[in-house]
Structure 1
Amino acid sequence: MLLTSIVQTSARIASTRSRTAKVDELTQTLLEAQRHGVVGLAASYLSGTLPQRRTGVGYRSLNDLPAPAETPSLTLREVDEAITTLAEQSGPGSATRRATLLGQLFGRATAAEAAYLSGLLTGEVRQGALDGLMLQAIARAAGVSEAQVRRAVTLAGFTVPVAEAALNSGAEGLAQIRLEVGRPLRPMLASSAADIPAAMAETGEVGLEYKIDGIRLQIHIQDGAVALFTRTLEDVTARMPEIVEAARGWQLCSAVVDAEAVVMQQGRPAPFQVTGSRTASQSDPELLRAHSPLHGYLFDLLHLNGQDLLERPAAERFAALATLAPADQLVPRIVTSQVERAQEFFDTAVADGFEGVVVKDLGATYASGRRGSGWVKVKPRHTLDLVVVAVEWGSGRRQGYLSNIHLAARDQDGFVMLGKTFKGMTDEMLAWQTARFLELETGRDGYVVQVRPEQVVEVAFDGLQTSRRYPAGLALRFARVLRYRQDKSAAEADTIDSVRRLAGR
């Protein structure tokens, strides 16, 4: 099967907003891939991922590529073999060897294929083939239920083995996919609520626990061997020796535990940047441990001593977890049906420096990979009125619209940028702001449109973090648009001084 088939399917998916049409395209391409024996590769590439995950190829590596080929000739197997070889390069001279291999691969790619390969290698494929669409397409192509596919992906962690099992062996193949200690599964996710009363509106007695702003971990233990995986299913065992040591202290044969790792400083969680930097670093973990020790907070138990607990009620899983490890390794938790008591717990969590709380249905099973009413997170909402100083043209579904807005606070000398966002925008808002900012345009720099600093926008955000990118040394974390403030002038926007006070500066 030629790579061009994937590229053409991706282009057709990107060109339509119809979910049905996207699933149809994916289904037909998966069936074509089945005939050629490359279902897994097709599913992986159409999902915008690579089986190799890490390749050592970055943006700079793709700056000096040969001229594209005139006609398509690359097969999926050839691409996979080439990328596997790229990923295996290490040690002295690896950069040179990698450049040679890239040149050989891209020298056979057409312009469209080269653009797609670049997106795959950098994780920037944007086509609208989201996970849910792929699961629907696998189910349709294999003639099985979507529920069967979703269950299998939950337990396998990745779509590729599920696509292969479904299209090659049908429902029987999917049934063979089970939780395996040592193989990460997709973590359960939380939906959001504005406040405690909203989070508890449809429940009776619930569990509330501190929301830790750290690195989500899945801890797998089998006969003393410990493996740690992030929420993206990356193996980070070697980077967190203190978490591994703590897990080895539990008296058990096998377990899969859901947890959060965070750097603690003077009894309070460090800002996310500190934890993120520690866990992402490739430096000597023992030296990092001495400077920024990690603490693991356990909050769910998915498997224990040969028994899967995914289908057990949360109350049972929590009770089993409480017997597993010392109390200081368990996330702070209460059980209550009283909104007032829950609010007190929330206030205490925030005062202790934590991100908020998660409200959990005690009867809920573990819904891997999904957001639902079983877990509901509640965080304090911060908002600012900021000024838009530039906008970027969108891509994919937002092609033709001004999308990503540059946000700035007032300063004595003008405006100080604090970040960008394209989140929270409806289709109506995109159309309105495109017309509005073209009216305010003062110039262009590539895909960035500079505008007069007149339009005020109210944004919500999760916090502020240190930044070297922006002059104020601060950046918004997870900013999202709430509304445009036509009732406010730029002179009424929040100042950089008020932002610094919010950040404790």
Structure 2
Amino acid sequence: MRFAELAATSAAVGATSGRRAKVELLAAALRGLEPGEIPAGAGYLAGELRQRQTGVGWAGLRDLPPPAAEPTLTVAAVDAAIEEISRVAGAGSQARRRDLVGRLFAAATADEQRLLTGLFRGELRQGAQAGLLADAVARAADVPVAAVRRALLLAGDLRAVAVAALTGGAPALAGFGLQVGRPLAPMLAQSAPSVDEALTATGVPATVDVKLDGIRIQVHRSGPDIAVFTRSLDEITGRLPQVVAAVRALPARELVLDGEAIGLDAAGRPLPFQETSSRAARRATPSTTGPTQVAPAVLAAAERTGEPVLTPYFFDLLHLDGADLIDAPGRERWAALAGAVDASLLVDRVEVDDAEQAATAFAAAVDAGQEGVVVKDPAAPYDAGRRGSAWVKVKPRHTLDLVVLAVEWGSGRREGWLSNLHLGARDPRTGEFVMLGKTFKGLTDELLRWQTERFLSLAVEKGDWEVRVRPVQVVEIAFDGVQTSSRYPGGMALRFARVLRYRHDKTAAEADTIDAVRAIHAGRITG
């Protein structure tokens, strides 16, 4: 298949609002793929590259060559080119990678370049996420949607499921099951602003788990073989020896566990997420009287390897010694978990019958330095890969009034509108604004229309990619925390920022300061 056909489909899907119409467009493209093109082509339609790491970032996509006049690229050729780019390593790799990227883009038309740019940046916002692709795969292969979704949940790999459906139909999809050693898409949680609203979704009685700000892990054990996977299903076994040691010390021979790995300070309190994720937590022996204890096997592994203490805490059990548990209600899975895993490796969990009890559990978690809680329906099965109402997370919400410094032009459905906001906090010492990150989350169509007109009127520099504006417009931003970042001059960035509203009642001089952001970053403000 010509790559231009996928580029045209991507553009058409982005310009289409109806779900059924999107599915038909995607299904038509999937039918046109040759068997060998399905893994890459299905991924492109979902906005994903088959190669998880390419080494190509924002800087590598600057100064691209002009587009080709006529389309010549095929899906297979693009996949081969990106595979070659992803394998570049060693001395001179940067120049070699830049040359390969230049060749690929020089062979691409303008529409193909737009698709490639979105794929490399991971920002192909065309409204074709995995759920929509599952429907399209079912349509293209003429198989039940439920069969595709079930296979996708168990396999955790859209490309593999697309290949099976399009080449083997329903019988091939039936071959997907929970296999120890093969990760499956984790169950996800919705968000709620309060425990009251969370309980409205889950009902009572409910369980309330402490929400740790760590790395989501899924651990598979089969005898002596242990594998650790991330939320995105990447294997990181070699990077977490303490997790491996903790699971190896358990009595069961076959396990699939869901949990978090988190760094702890000397008092047993959680370290910031970024320290955990970068393995920069200082090596320490947490106090056994602190709010969180560390299993002896974890400490022993840390002592042997000299690595930071990264402790696993598990909250679900999906398989135990030959028996799959994903379809069992939560209370049965959690009872099995408690019987199979040492209590020092379990996430703190309480049962509640009303909002007052849930609020008490939430306050205790936050006071202990945790991220919040997850309220769960104990009757619900493990709905792999889904974000349903059975699990609802509640976190303290920070808000800041920040100033818009620039805005990027949107793509896909937002093409023609100014979308992605560059956010800055006021530095009272210099009067300048310090950039803290970007967001396009929380913007309605009405806000997009308004802010496009507004920021064009404030423009001081207009480009094809972004518009720099006079720093006068204040916007209220909600976010989950502040993390260390070398990407921005202030050394910090907001986590999961989203727009709440524009503050027309405030001037830029009244916006929040960089000192307020530093206070949140340092943990001096918890709500």
Could you state the TM-score of these two structures normalised by the residue count of structure 1?
A: 0.90
The match for 1:17 is 17
Please tell me whether residue 208 in structure 1 is matched to residue 208 in structure 2. yes
The match for 1:336 is 352
- Unaligned stretches of 5+ in structure 1? none
Deviation at 1:448, TM superposition (A): 3.1
Q: What do residues 261-311 of structure 1 show as CA deviations (whole Å, max 9, x unaligned)?
A: 11111211111111122289xxxx989963632111101111111111110
Q: What do residues 367-421 of structure 1 show as CA deviations (whole Å, max 9, x unaligned)?
A: 1111111100011111122222332222222122122222233333324333322
The match for 1:327 is 343
Q: Secondary structure at the match of 1:201?
A: helix
Residues 9, 25 of structure 2: 8 Å contact kept: yes
Q: Secondary structure at the match of 1:40?
A: helix
Distance, in Å, in 2 between the alignment partners of 1:453 and 1:101 is 39
Distance, in Å, in 1 between the alignment partners of 2:361 and 2:56 is 46
- Unaligned stretches of 5+ in structure 2? 282-300
Out of 417, 429, 437, which is 1:401 matched to? 417
The match for 1:220 is 220
Distance, in Å, in 2 between the alignment partners of 1:79 and 1:390 is 33
The match for 1:185 is 184
The match for 1:304 is 320
Could you state the TM-score of these two structures normalised by the residue count of structure 2?
A: 0.87
Deviation at 1:483, TM superposition (A): 1.1
Q: CA 1:305 to 1:10, structure 2 compared with 1: closer, same or farther past 3 Å?
A: same
Q: What do residues 235-269 of structure 1 show as CA deviations (whole Å, max 9, x unaligned)?
A: 11111111111111111221111011111112111
The match for 1:362 is 378
The match for 2:196 is 197
Distance, in Å, in 2 between the alignment partners of 1:497 and 1:55 is 37
Please tell me whether residue 260 in structure 1 is matched to residue 260 in structure 2. yes
Please tell me whether residue 466 in structure 1 is matched to residue 467 in structure 2. no
Give the superposed CA RMSD: 2.8
Residues 361, 374 of structure 1: 8 Å contact kept: yes
Residues 280, 308 of structure 2: 8 Å contact kept: no
Distance, in Å, in 2 between the alignment partners of 1:161 and 1:19 is 23
The 5 A counterparts of 1:380-399 are 380-399=396-415
Farther-moved stretch of structure 1 (224-233 vs 165-174) = 165-174
Distance, in Å, in 1 between the alignment partners of 2:242 and 2:521 is 30
Distance, in Å, in 1 between the alignment partners of 2:259 and 2:150 is 22
Q: What do residues 335-388 of structure 1 show as CA deviations (whole Å, max 9, x unaligned)?
A: 121322221111111011100000010000011111111100011111122222
The match for 1:249 is 249
Residues 416, 472 of structure 1: 8 Å contact kept: no
Distance, in Å, in 2 between the alignment partners of 1:276 and 1:472 is 21
Residues 187, 231 of structure 1: 8 Å contact kept: yes
The match for 1:54 is 53
Farther-moved stretch of structure 1 (37-46 vs 246-255) = 37-46
Distance, in Å, in 2 between the alignment partners of 1:439 and 1:110 is 33
Q: CA 1:256 to 1:445, structure 2 compared with 1: closer, same or farther past 3 Å?
A: same
Deviation at 1:460, TM superposition (A): 1.1
Distance, in Å, in 1 between the alignment partners of 2:70 and 2:342 is 63
User: How high is the sequence identity, in percent, across the aligned residues?
Assistant: 53
Residues 302, 308 of structure 2: 8 Å contact kept: no
Q: What do residues 29-50 of structure 1 show as CA deviations (whole Å, max 9, x unaligned)?
A: 111225x663333212212223
The 5 A counterparts of 1:115-130 are 115-130=114-129
Letter in 2 for 1:232: S
Residues 254, 304 of structure 1: 8 Å contact kept: yes
Letter in 2 for 1:268: R
Residues 69, 107 of structure 1: 8 Å contact kept: yes
Residues 240, 279 of structure 1: 8 Å contact kept: no
Q: CA 1:288 to 1:494, structure 2 compared with 1: closer, same or farther past 3 Å?
A: farther
Deviation at 1:168, TM superposition (A): 2.2
Distance, in Å, in 2 between the alignment partners of 1:236 and 1:173 is 29
Farther-moved stretch of structure 1 (121-130 vs 163-172) = 121-130
Deviation at 1:82, TM superposition (A): 4.2
Q: Secondary structure at the match of 2:196?
A: helix
Number of residue-to-residue matches in the alignment: 500
Distance, in Å, in 2 between the alignment partners of 1:70 and 1:408 is 40
Out of 486, 501, 513, which is 1:483 matched to? 501
The match for 1:457 is 475
Farther-moved stretch of structure 1 (216-225 vs 286-295) = 286-295
Q: CA 1:56 to 1:384, structure 2 compared with 1: closer, same or farther past 3 Å?
A: closer
Residues 239, 279 of structure 1: 8 Å contact kept: no
